[in-house]
Amino acid sequence: MPARTKIVANKVWLDSSRGGRGADAQGDRLVKLAGRFFKALKLSGVELSLSLVRDDEMKQLNALWRKKNKPTDVLSFPGGEMPGPGRRVLGDVVISIDTARAAAKDFGTTLDEELDLYLAHGLLHLLGYDHHSKPEAKKMEALERRLLKRPSMLSRSDEL
């Protein structure tokens, strides 16, 4: 009798407790969206931690990990290799709701659109995509567009 392969479902762990007003509802929506992104990227048996925070906490994280003393939109912290069977831990995506609200006003988008964009961008970073060179940025931008079915975060910026 052939051995059975156990299918390990994807999982998103959500912490929206530090995101302020509306963060719980946004977090629940983003968990569902992450599931759609996993499907589009053909990811299975993965685990993601998603945190929604305010700008004051994001500023602290950005200062600690990137030596930039200001809030940012999204930070990604890759997971490590886990021994044994089970889900592959992709890592943590931390999103600032305050920055998303401000960006929505600046870019004439909605809060949902900004948060969706940050989730796609952060997830792609966890999967090893980056934008330090033009070829890398083009590849990452194409994937963001595919996930979002609209312009990407990288199309807004001249930065690489």
Longest dimension (CA), the chain: 61
Asked if the structure places residue 4 within a domain, the reply is no
Q: How many domains does the chain have?
A: 1
CATH for 64: 3.40.390.30
Asked if the structure places residue 93 within a domain, the reply is yes
- Burial-class residue 2 by CB neighbours within 10 Å (0-12, 13-18, 19+): exposed
If the chain, 160 residues long, is cut into consecutive pieces of 10 residues, what is the mean pLDDT of each piece? 61 92 93 95 94 97 96 94 78 97 95 96 95 90 89 54
Asked if the structure places residue 159 within a domain, the reply is no
pLDDT at 9: 87
Asked if the structure places residue 5 within a domain, the reply is no
Residue with tokens 């299918």, as numbered in its chain: 7
Asked if the structure places residue 73 within a domain, the reply is yes
pLDDT at 150: 74
Range of the domain at 15: 11-153
Asked if the structure places residue 94 within a domain, the reply is yes
pLDDT at 7: 59
In Å, how far are 8, 56, 71, 83 from 122, measured between CA atoms? 23, 19, 15, 24
